[in-house]
Structure 1
Amino acid sequence: MILNQELEYKGDLFPSKIVSFTQEVNSFDFFSDNSVILRVSVIRDSLIRFRYTTKGYFSNDFSYAIDKGQSHGYNFLELLESDDVYQIKTSKVVCIIRKVDMKVAIFDLDGKSILEDELGFHWEENYNFGGNIVKMSKASKEGESFYGLGDKASHLNLKGKRLENWATDQYAFHKDQEPLYKVVPFYIGLQNKMAYGVFFDNTFKTFFDFCAERRNVASFWAEGGEMNYYFIYGPKMQDVVTTYTHLTGKPELPPLWALGYHQCKWSYYPENKVKEVTSKFRELRIPCDAIYLDIDYMDGFRCFTWNKDYFPDPKKMVAELAEDGFKTVVIIDPGIKIDKEYSVYAEALANDYFCKRADGPYMKGKVWPGECNFPDYTNPEVREWWAGLFKELISDIGVKGVWNDMNEPAVMDVPGKTFPMDVRHHYDGNPCSHRKAHNIYGTQMARATYEGVKRFSYPKRPFIITRSAYSGAQRYTSSWTGDNVASWEHLWIANIQMQRMSMSGMGFTGSDIGGFAEQPSGELYARWIQLGVFHPFCRTHSSGDHGDQEPWSFDEEVVDITRKFVELRYQLLPYLYTMFWEYINDGVPMLKPLVYFDQEDPQTHYRTDEFIFGNQILVCPILEPNAIGRRMYLPKGNWYNYWTDEIVSGGKEFWVGTDYDQIPIFIKEGAIIPKYPVQQYVGELEFEEITLDVYYKLGKEKSMLYEDSQDGYDYSKGRFSLSTFSLRGKENELIIQQHTEGKFETNYKRFKIVLHGLPFQVASIEFDNDVISLENAQYDGKTILFIHKDFTELHITGK
């Protein structure tokens, strides 16, 4: 143990000695003689929950973050007691609880320290609110690194930072500004090549300090509620992230069109302006799948209404856009205008669905419509009502997606930019003030929206996007990083935020390409689109205050660059869809920072710019103006330069030159990358073939291709196709084996194989043990050959 001395610290209170304990299956309660109870619950061998109460009893155990469907179970569990400690052992870790002061230490089975209490649990009585400020401090090892916490606009490695979690409408935020829109109180620690995670499931305002105040101490605390955290053991970072993602839940597959390119602005109106924008995309042959309508489509900003001057026949317009391949996505905010002639307001008023102040009246605040009341989405009856409001938008008019904004919740003209703290919430039968409900308000709004859109979209899949979120929101919604700025600093921030969000369980995220506030130069917009097409959610959005931000608002070169990179995204849609399938099934993040990809290499621990897109494509954006290249780091292994096919050996930093219409992209050797033909929108074309880019490797590599009907729920009944490609390269041979499972039949019949880096001249080709003459093999004599999609083995030999 790190500390043995008796402690007095700032007048805080600490647990005293343990006087008894009880066990109930996988849960152990330890009682101190000053009424503290520590409950240790072993959920899995590498997942342990710690709950503390200072009252002598626990309050109702309720969490919006935890996925009720997540799996439990352990292989081994044992409690041992000695004179000084209790020891809880699983098949992965040993947890020591010290009798004298309830301090906790966790070790691996070899006795190596993973995480130890420094001061441990302590608290400060908060008489203003009737609860405790609950605190936890852990000893930090030399050289320890910290990652996670959602959308923080800081360096990827959080060592030396103090951060605040309070969902805030932070317009035009800057680097290191705190707090931001989302609350993900989960971090990953990495020390001695061993990773662990901590999820502090507390919805009050929380803080994390990673060795900022005290050099070798990492601490976290909340302004109320319980000290309730989950410890996750790796030792690989991949295991930590996957376990956390399973714990807080995963989304269902989005429709494939949601992974296409989206165009948005505050605001596109009237109808002829919307059609002018969509027509220009088709004219310039820049692929696009979705067009967004911001608040100006509404009648006086009243949610679920239409401004009939701007949009006289919304159903007809939405249908015409759909004929041209555009899905319509509309914004819905939480503020409901106080207007008794407005049916949504009248209905909520009649049913008492709005949030109330402590002494009874409805919470009133100004947002876009003027004075508004706000639904209490923590009430299941209100969520059910809200879900039903989407019938007209989705079923009748044909809108395909809904965008929830201003749901931190944001309120204008008040100092805190949100509800007063005395506002009361239902909290699913656990009544509380806004201090507790604030951070999950946006998530519960997105949840109610998801339930409505899903109900009325069926049998198609829903698409929802939210600005504010708490851990677990990914079960219902995608997200974006809020009101960023058209600056090079924000391009850097966007790159960091996407990597961090992926590590934090929220994979389906993007930034406003080009920046929401202010006007980007053509070069900045081009560099941002080059990055944005490699983010799971890909949308240009701007405030419109400083001019237009469609690709053609800049010069012809920018239009060409935009087209080139958006086309590349559409080609990579099967690869991206497969990434998403792996995310929803296995909890694997779609973007992987280099430290996640190779935690053994200390060079990766402070890298911010490079990331792995999926499993086999490395992307390194250009983040400075007038750049003709940049220094970058490739992780260990051999990588192909995407543009030149040059093979580069990793494990070192090097200079790579690029043109204005390129950024450094590298493909892992041995990868098989599936590509669709370029479409202007998902579903435009029936394919006769798809391309497999095969990157030769001396050795073995596995790749995957997941496909289904691209929408609907047949995939959950086994109507999908999952192909696993096993590549084995020898000096004069290349063998590719395909194993396919699932009941879905793709429309295309063949693969176009494009060979990269083959070190020999092809002498013979064998399909499923049949030797094919080169003349009959549909082989161009260099790098391209065609093969039936159902092949089991392709064997190429050289001379």
Structure 2
Amino acid sequence: MDNQAEPILTASRDGGFLEIFDPFGEPLLEEAVFPGAGAIATASVDLRWWLLAAWWRFRRRVGPWRWVAPSPPVETGGLMSALLDDSGNSVVEVSESVRGATVDGEVRMPRGAQGDWIRWRLKAGHGEKFLGFGERFNAVDQSGNKLYVWTEEGAVGLGERWGRWLDGASFNPFANGPTTAYKPMPFFISRRGYGLLLDTFARVEYDVAATDSGAIDITVWDKSFRWTLFYGPGLAEIVERFTARVGRATVPTKWAFAPWNDEIFGSESVRECARKLRENKIPTTAMWTEDWQGGYWLPPFNKKKALYNIFPFRHSVARHLYPDLEAVARDLRASGFRWLSYFVPYLLRRSSDFREARDRGYLLKNKKGKPILVFIQWLSYGHIDLTNPEARDWFKGKLADNLALGFDGWMADFSEYVPPGAHTASGETGLEHHNRFPLLWQRMNREVMDEQRPDGDYVFFCRAAAVGSQKYAPVFWSGDSNTDFERYDGLPSNLPAAISAGLCGLPIWAADVGGYEVVTRGRDKELFMRWTEFAALLPVMRTHHGTHPNRCWSWDSDVETIEVFGRYCRLHTALFPYIYNLAHEAAERGLPAVRHLAMHHGEDPASWEIEDQFLLGDRLLVAPVIERNRRGRQVYFPPGEWIDYWTGDSHAGPGEQYAHSQLDHLPLFVRAGAIIPTLDLPVDTLVPVEPGAGLVGEEEALSTLRATQYGPGTDSYELSDGTVIEMWRSGEADARALANSRMIVRSGAEMALAPDALQSVAARSEPDRAITVRGACADIVAVNRDGNRLAAVTITGGPPRERLTFEWR
């Protein structure tokens, strides 16, 4: 946020109902007032639950609800005020405190009051939008939906063929419906200009103007909760204030921002994949291998169609697959790779680890004090209890042993399986602990990494999350998406997931390229290509073999795919200076890399409607093709001028235009006048490499910089290393005028023009003008034959570089 006076909100409870006003005196948040009932109620609940596959189902008997009467609150002598029912009995106690642009409040049942849950109703304006609620696959705006905050295994999609029959349906026969979420959060953002956080790990249910279009109905499965309202009024300001309260991400290691590739099936398969990537000059910094501890083909199917199963999971090396694992780790390091493994917070019941943890009291227990079991793919596991400090240290030892083998991180998978009936060493029930556990799992992973790798040379990535998880986990990914184009759990669902996750504080986000779950059909070439294009413009680009590897098209399945995959890996790597800057912005301001169009175009009503496009930062507009057999799509351009990244063509917004998109083409646009910094050497890896390795690694890759300005205008861009680039282009300087201009180099030594050796020349038009200079700083002006200035660039600060190239497109 700019250095300006913080806006001041006001709040009152005149008549017993809460109203919060913005700095201009306009209503911001209001409790919903209904005849014969108040805005807050409590109820006693009889609750039962049972497990259905991977999902908990609940049966409840609720009520009757005791509603607050519409009358002023009664002072209780402290900070709290009591709200009464029609009989004059205290139903709840409430408090509110205004601190500039935030309001903190609490709702709780009085001591000794009967009841288990609290219900809170707020007004929803006509057409009001409610965004966020954690990472959500069904939509970004949840208006008209019912959803809940309960982390669980993601929805299993039905595919293109079956899913179309459920398009728009309120249910899904698999899982708990299309609103199922790995990363649900009790936080939403209203288009009125505020965000509302419920500070609770209890299950929360939202009726978002679904039953009543004039109200958002919130049910908290607890006797009390705290809440905070964050004023914007824009999305960026709301997210900044929210993340300032709950915590912000730290910047991951540089090598996390070049592509990662997975490989399984044993030592030689991993070595061969690494060799092939280097042979094809596909920049890659990490390999990740989830079957390091074992994997097998599921009988009785043949390998061509079979599931490759990594369960039962153990915490020791599968020597029949990786007899020389330590040597593989050394070989990968010598080739400029880091190597990632796989972990879950569960212990196989028939393993020695389970018996040790059981005997020491390290597992979650049932009400009888015995280890409670979770079930994954028909096998039973004990669940580590991370509220027990001794259990946490014991499990950290397992992770440290993995690093000692030569790994550099892992997928920290699962953490959504705490049973409601579990009991922790700290005294929590499973109902209380269920949504908290992902945070504890991520904190433990972060602790062991920081202890073992204090230089930050590591990455781990997580599927589940809670409010504040970004403080601990460097990277998140979308989860186990279906290998399909279907909207519930396939490629299209990943766009709202990326946007909503970013709005809720998770800035560094990725997806399995091509999806993971082979539910309805195997991954085909078209899906892999389209997903590759989408993933190249995410902060982290990572592949996955899928549940049925031999039914999943991969990066090396044919010559064309190798070429296209390599092209987009090079694009992703070229954008490293830009993406790395966004990671620093996330750490400093809390803003996500993937952004809703309304974050920078909130004044434009149409931008609020777009959920199948996104901004990468504030200047790249990404419009992936997410439907099968499409060779183009309608693209919405926010207000202003937008330049096609590939062709240089100009598009005026606001408004829609059709963009042609062959199978190997991603519709990608740059805000006119904006600078995009890129690398331009043929980078192999962003890992430091030894001299004489024959690789272009981190040091050499960062020794050059290419800065490109798209279209006319003035822009300034500061990199995280202190480099400041300023570029200008006259509106009168068309392509011909620039091509015929004379370059005056006032600082820096001009040298032969360096070609862009990283991005595909064939896929892009030639720049209107370009120049390469030697030196840490540069000051260059382009003039026409009359001496009139057409364009200019200056670059100052930052580390010394061997060369600098500037382009105007």
For the superposition of Structure 1 and Structure 2, which TM-score range results when normalised by the shorter chain? 0.7 to 0.9
> Cα distance, 1:596 vs. partner?
1.8
Residue number among 764, 771, 777 corresponding to 1:785 in the alignment: 771
Q: Secondary structure at the match of 2:719?
A: strand
When structure 1 is superposed on structure 2, of 210-219 and 172-181 the one drifting more is 172-181
Matched, 1:570 2:566: no
Residue type matched to 1:217 in 2? A
What is the Cα deviation at residue 329 of structure 1?
0.9
Q: Mapping of 1:419-438 within 5 angstroms?
A: 419=419, 421-426=420-425, 429=426, 431-438=427-434
* 8 Å CA contact retained: 1:594, 1:611: yes
Partner of 2:109: 54
1:37 aligns to 2:93 (yes or no): yes
Cα displacement string for residues 453-479 of structure 1 (whole angstroms, at most 9, x for unaligned residues): 221122234311122211111111122
- Deviations for 1:503-533, whole angstroms, at most 9, x for unmatched residues? 1111122221111122222111101100011
Task: Name the SS of the counterpart of 2:202 in structure 1.
Answer: coil
Corresponding position: 1:635 with 2:633: no
Output the CA distance in 2 between the equivalents of 1:574 and 1:318. Answer: 28
Name the SS of the counterpart of 2:777 in structure 1.
coil
Change over 3 Å in CA distance of 1:688–1:198 after alignment to 2: closer
Moved more, 603-612 or 534-543: 534-543
- Name the SS for the 1:135 alignment partner: strand
Q: Could you tell me how far apart the structure 1 residues matched to 2:639 and 2:730 are?
A: 20
Q: Which has the higher mean CA deviation after the structures are superposed, 256-265 or 433-442?
A: 256-265
8 Å Cα contact 1:301/1:369 also seen in 2: no
* TM-aligned CA distance change 1:781 to 1:202, over 3 Å: closer
What is the Cα deviation at residue 256 of structure 1?
Answer: 1.4
- Could you tell me how far 1:452 is from its partner in structure 2? 1.0
Helix, strand or coil for the counterpart of 2:500?
A: helix
Q: 1:12 to 1:534 in 2, by over 3 A?
A: same
Q: CA deviation at 1:791?
A: 2.2
- After superposition, what is the alpha-carbon deviation per residue over 1:728-748, rounded to whole angstroms, capped at 9, x for unaligned? 444578xxxxxxxxxxxxxxx
SS of 2:722's equivalent in the other structure is strand
Structure 1 position 406, deviation (Å): 2.7
Residue 680 (1) aligns with residue 684 (2): yes
Q: Which residue of 1 aligns with 2:746?
A: 767
How far has the Cα of 1:537 moved from its partner?
2.6
Aligned length: 665
Matches of 2:451 and 2:132, distance apart in 1: 33
Give me the whole-angstrom Cα distance separating, in 2, the residues matched to 1:542 and 1:763: 52
Between the aligned partners of 2:459 and 2:269, the Cα distance in structure 1 is: 24
Asked whether 1:483 is paired with 2:480, we answer: yes
Moved more, 218-227 or 168-177: 168-177
**1:286 maps onto 2:282 in alignment:** yes
Matched, 1:140 2:140: no
CA displacement, residues 135-155 of structure 1 (integer Å, 9 cap, x when unaligned): 211111112111112221212
2:222 paired with 1:218: no
Residue number in structure 1 paired with 2:37:
7
1:237-636 map, 5 Å:
237-264=235-262, 268-295=264-291, 297-298=293-294, 301=312, 303-339=314-350, 342=352, 344-367=353-376, 370-394=379-403, 396-409=404-417, 419=419, 421-426=420-425, 429=426, 431-477=427-473, 478-489=475-486, 490-518=490-518, 519-545=522-548, 547=550, 549=552, 551-636=554-639
Alignment match, 1:208: 206
Indicate conservation of the 8 Å contact 1:378/1:441, yes or no.
no
Partner of 1:151: 135
- Residues 560-569 or 197-206, more deviating: 197-206
Structure 1: gaps (5+ residues)? 58-123, 127-131, 410-417, 707-720, 734-754
Do the aligned partners of 1:170 and 1:483 also contact (CA within 8 Å) in 2? yes
Amino acid at match of 1:277: C
Q: State whether structure 2 residue 170 is matched by structure 1 residue 170.
A: no
Give 1:434 deviation, angstroms. Answer: 0.2
Q: Quick one: distance in 2 between partners of 1:349 and 1:655?
A: 61
Alpha-carbon distance change, 277 to 39 in structure 1, aligned in 2, over 3 angstroms: same
Normalised TM-score (structure 2): 0.77
Alignment root-mean-square deviation, CA: 3.0
3-state DSSP of counterpart to 2:361: coil
More displaced, 581-590 or 777-786? 777-786
Q: Please tell me whether the aligned partners of residues 686 and 701 of structure 2 are also in contact (alpha carbons under 8 angstroms).
A: no
- Describe the SS at the equivalent of 1:424: coil
- State the one-letter code of the partner of 2:776: D
1:175-196 residue CA offsets vs partner (Å, 9 max, x unmatched): 86132212222111103xxx21
Distance in 2, Cα, partners of 1:782 & 1:334: 55
Pick the aligned partner of 1:229 from 227, 230, 248.
227
Hey, what's the Cα distance between the residues in 1 that align with 2:260 and 2:367?
42
Distance verdict in 2 for CA 1:408–1:327, change over 3 Å: same
Partner Cα distance (2:224, 2:542) in 1: 39
Q: Residues 338 and 40 of structure 1: is their aligned pair in 2 closer, same or farther, counting only changes over 3 Å? A: same
Return the offset for 1:125.
Answer: 5.7
Residues 513 and 539 in structure 1, CA contact (< 8 A), matched pair in contact too: yes
Pair 271,582 (structure 1): closer, same or farther in 2 beyond 3 Å: same
Contact 1:391 1:452 in 2 (8 A): yes
Cα contact 1:387–1:453 (8 A) shared by 2: no
- Contact 1:134–1:225, Cα closer than 8 Å, also in 2: yes
Distance 1:339 1:190, change over 3 A: same
State the alpha-carbon separation in 2 of the partners of residues 461 and 30 from structure 1: 51
| Number of the residue aligned with 2:56 | none
Q: Which amino acid aligns with 1:54?
A: M
Aligned 8 A contact 1:386 1:452 in 2: no
1:312 Cα shift?
Answer: 1.6
Determine what percentage of the aligned residue pairs are the same residue. Answer: 21
Q: CA deviation at 1:305?
A: 0.7
Is the contact between residue 257 and residue 289 of structure 1 (CA under 8 Å) also seen in structure 2?
Answer: yes
Asked if 1:795 is matched to 2:793, the reply is no
C-alpha displacement of 1:566:
0.8
Compared CA separation, residues 422 and 604, structure 1 to 2 (3 A): same
SS of alignment partner, residue 665 of structure 2: coil
Q: Which moved more, 1:568-577 or 1:351-360?
A: 351-360
The answer (yes or no) to whether the contact 2:186–2:197 under 8 Å persists in 1 is yes
Aligned residues of 2:739 and 2:769 also touching (Cα < 8 A): no
SS at structure 2 position matched to 1:483: coil
1:303 to 1:171, Cα distance in 2 relative to 1, 3 A: farther
Measure, in 2, the Cα distance between the counterparts of 1:264 and 1:125: 54
Which residue of the partner structure matches residue 724 of structure 2? Answer: 724
Deviation at 1:378, TM superposition (A): 2.8
Look up the equivalent residue of 1:48 and give its one-letter code. V
Q: Which amino acid aligns with 1:169?
A: E
Aligned counterpart, 1:20: 75
* Greater alpha carbon shift after TM alignment, 534-543 vs 484-493: 534-543
1:329-380 deviation line (CA, Å, top 9, x unaligned): 111111112357x3x4454334321111112111133446943222111334
Alpha-carbon distance in 2 for matches of 1:147, 1:363: 36
Which structure 2 residues correspond to residues 158-197 of structure 1 after superposition, within 5 A? Answer: 158-170=142-154, 172-173=156-157, 177-191=178-192, 195-197=193-195
Is residue 167–residue 182 contact of structure 1 (8 Å, CA) maintained in 2?
A: yes
Q: How does 1:689-700 map to 2 (within 5 A)?
A: 689-695=703-709, 698-700=712-714
CA gap of 1:550–1:51, structure 2 versus 1, over 3 A, is: same
- Please give the secondary structure, in 2, of the residue aligned with 1:147: strand
Give the superposition deviation at 1:388.
2.9
* Alignment-mate amino acid for residue 320 of structure 1: D
Q: Which moved more, 1:331-340 or 1:161-170?
A: 331-340
Paired residue secondary structure (1:425):
coil
> What is the Cα deviation at residue 609 of structure 1?
1.6
State the shift of 1:156 in Å. 2.2
